[in-house]
């Protein structure tokens, strides 16, 4: 037997109303500005002794980092190791300075 009261509770959803479709998820790939993925790579060869001596590799990475290079991977290449570095490509437009030149003396 169904319980009745003076006021019937309103249903949460109207059965005649269609349920709204869920919005599709956003893109899985992040938006990146044009040219932001253009990279240049370079390698440097070092010996196994230079990799483990504690100073040579650190000095090379510090110097490369000051020039804008990032370490990608150290790859064994026979008896030596290749240090793979990358940095964003600099376009000609970014390399030029924009602005006014100081007046000639």
pLDDT at 90: 75
> What string of pLDDT tens digits covers the 105 residues of the chain?
566 667 776 766 666 666 556 666 666 766 666 666 789 999 999 999 999 998 999 999 999 999 999 999 999 999 999 999 999 987 665 555 666 777 776
Distance between CA atoms of 102 and 7, rounded to whole angstroms? 85
pTM value > 0.85: no
pLDDT at 47: 95
**CB neighbours of 1 closer than 8 A, spacing ≥ 6?**
none
Distance between CA atoms of 52 and 100, rounded to whole angstroms? 50
Sign of torsion over alpha carbons 67, 68, 74, 77: negative
pLDDT at 38: 87
pLDDT at 93: 59
pLDDT at 16: 65
Distance between CA atoms of 62 and 6, rounded to whole angstroms? 80
Q: CB of 65 within 8 A of CB of 87?
A: no
């Amino acid at each position: 037997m169904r319980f009745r009261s003076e006021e019937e509770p309103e249903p949460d959803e109207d059965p005649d109303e269609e349920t709204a479709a869920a919005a599709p998820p956003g893109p899985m790939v992040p938006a990146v500005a044009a040219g932001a993925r253009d990279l240049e790579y370079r390698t440097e060869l070092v010996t196994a002794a230079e990799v483990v001596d504690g100073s040579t590799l650190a000095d090379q990475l510090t110097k490369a980092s000051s020039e804008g290079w990032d370490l990608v991977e150290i790859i064994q290449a026979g008896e030596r190791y290749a240090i793979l570095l990358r940095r964003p490509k600099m376009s000609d437009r970014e390399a030029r300075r924009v602005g006014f030149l100081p007046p000639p003396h």
